[in-house]
Amino acid sequence: MSAVSVEQAASDGNRVAARTATSSTAVRIGRLGFAARGAVYLIVGWLSLRAAAAGEGTATDKQGALEAIAQQPVGIMLLVAITVGLFAYAAWSLVRAVFDPERRGHDAGGLVARGGFAVATVSYAGLALAAANLAMGSGSAGKGSDASTQDWTARLLGAPFGPTLVIAVGVALFAVAGTEFVRAYTASFRKHLSLGGLRSEPRRWIVRIGRMGLVARGVVFALIGLFLIEASRHQDAGEAVGLGGALQKLAEQQYGQTLLGVVASGLVMYGLFSFVEARYRRLTG
């Protein structure tokens, strides 16, 4: 095949990829996915907020949120809807990672963002499978976030240069947390939303909700990163935590119930902001 033919084939492939990523079907999948993500965060935040208000009990994670859904009178139907939505979010994350409909590009920042989308693909696909198992009557959403985090931390610690790799993951999570804080401060997420049809007051509230949600997510990522670094320093995977463990660590501090309540409220806000994204986010560049 000639060089011209190769270039033509690559060009044709890029056009097909672009059409795939920006098709109405892909966009609908993305919107459904954002709504499902919002439902999960809303329930995680709400249950943790209740634990903080009661001054007892434990904070929950995404698996705990699914199990809470399963206990509702129409839990099976809700779980089926959540399963479809989570698979949709995983699929949309894959589209964002591979086809780059948001034009993140191939520079360092763009590749990091697209790598994050790839991680989200795996994470939310796993959560969708857990929801599906619950809907089919397994009685459990599988391992919680703490157990899963400790499992892969233990495997990494046992690998060559394992402690260094665990520290690198922790530092990466600190970087993600910093990115969330910057997005909250600058409200840079506004450029991804089509809010022109809204009055000024609803737009201001959307920005406030987005900021609070991103700060809460940043706090959670920072805590998970911190305890990964501690697990590496002490060669103890049991010190690693996931979402539920990070929230529980907050509750164990001085004024812990207040801290947990603030962050849990922020996660509720992030859930609400995800619903906003489901409606108003620009899903193409």
pLDDT at 135: 87
Q: Could you please report the per-residue DSSP string of 136-184?
A: TT-S---S-HHHHHHHHHHHHHTSTTHHHHHHHHHHHHHHHHHHHHHHH
Beta carbons within 8 Å of 251's beta carbon, 6+ residues apart: 51, 52, 58, 59, 257, 259, 260
Residue 102 lies in domain: 23-280
Confidence band for 211, pLDDT divided at 50, 70 and 90: very high
Over residues 266-282, mean pLDDT: 96
Q: Is residue 185 part of a domain?
A: yes
Residue 168 lies in a domain: yes
CA distances from 8 to 4, 101, 153, 218, 235 (A): 6, 21, 45, 44, 53
Contact 215, 266 (CB under 8 A): yes
pTM of the complete model: 0.87
Q: Which residues pair with 193 in a beta bridge?
A: 281
Identify whether 6 is part of a domain: no
195 falls within a domain? yes
Cα 111 to its chain centre, rounded Å, is 18
pLDDT bracket for residue 206 (50, 70, 90): very high
Return the top range by mean pLDDT from 42-51, 64-73, 204-213.
204-213
Domain-embedded: residue 136: yes
Q: Flag whether 247 is in a domain.
A: yes
Q: What is the CA radius of gyration of the chain?
A: 20
Q: ∠ CA 206-243-265 to the nearest 5 degrees? A: 35
pLDDT tens sequence across 75-85: 899 999 999 99
pLDDT tens per residue, range 85-116: 999 999 999 988 888 877 788 887 788 788 88
Confidence of residue 197 (pLDDT cuts 50, 70, 90): confident
d(CA 178, CA 184): 10
Span of 19-23, 122-126, 159-163 with lowest mean pLDDT: 19-23
pLDDT at 3: 47
What burial letters (b/e) apply to 195-216, b meaning 16+ CB within 10 Å?
Answer: eeeeeeeebeebbebbbbbbbb
- Determine the pLDDT at residue 22: 61
pLDDT of residue 18: 52
Within-domain flag for 61: yes
Answer yes or no: is 84 within a domain: yes
Give how far Cα 114 sits from Cα of 5, 105, 128, 281, Å.
Answer: 29, 9, 21, 17
| pLDDT score recorded for residue 15 | 53
Contact at 8 Å (CB) between 228 and 165? no
In the chain, the number of structural domains is 1
Q: Given this model, what pLDDT does residue 56 score?
A: 64
Phi, psi of 281 (to 5 degrees): -70, 140
